[in-house]
Amino acid sequence: MRVVLDTNILVAAFATRGLCQDVFELCLAEHSILTSEFIIDELGSCLRRKLKVPARNVRDIVVFLRTQCEEIAPKALPRNICRDRSDENILALAISGGADCIVTGDNDLLALKRVEGIPIFNPRQFWENLSK
């Protein structure tokens, strides 16, 4: 399965133990994680500014993601799909990368439920969907 993990899921996966970390590890082991320059930049910024992760650790995380995930250069969306314009980067990645789903904690994205046939799950929904 080709999965887009939104930045908020990745931040939680690297910052805490819990469901997001489990989702990330499962996707690394059994699925393909799609990422983009936007997600990698946003993740680095969040880790440095909000969580005060040392720059060296952030660089290590970025290198890890670039080697373990499939990095896509998404095409711009033809129209506004989401309330939050920055979330369109996630949607464009999913569409351009042929994702099977998006996992996010972002309410603006979750409100869409699906985009161009791609389901949008919160981490719990994703986890439960895999165990069916």
pLDDT at 81 (0 to 100): 75
- Per-residue pLDDT tens over the stretch 26-61: 999 999 999 999 999 999 999 999 999 999 999 999
The C-alpha atoms of residue 79 and residue 84 are separated, in whole angstroms, by: 13
SS3 70: strand
**Residue 15's CB: how many other CB atoms inside 10 A?**
15
The C-alpha atoms of residue 125 and residue 19 are separated, in whole angstroms, by: 11
- Per-residue pLDDT tens over the stretch 53-86: 999 999 999 999 999 999 999 998 877 777 777 8
Enter the DSSP assignment of 124: H
Architecture of domain 2-130: 3-Layer(aba) Sandwich (3.40)
pLDDT at 132 (0 to 100): 67
Nearest CA-CA partner of 90 in 78, 103, 11, 67: 103
Q: Does residue 131 carry a pLDDT above 80? A: no
* In contact, 89 and 38? CB cutoff 8 Å: yes
DSSP state letters, 36-81: -HHHHHHHHHIIIIIT---HHHHHHHHHHHHHHSEE--PPPPSS--
Domain ranges of the chain: 2-130
Q: Does residue 108 carry a pLDDT above 80? A: yes
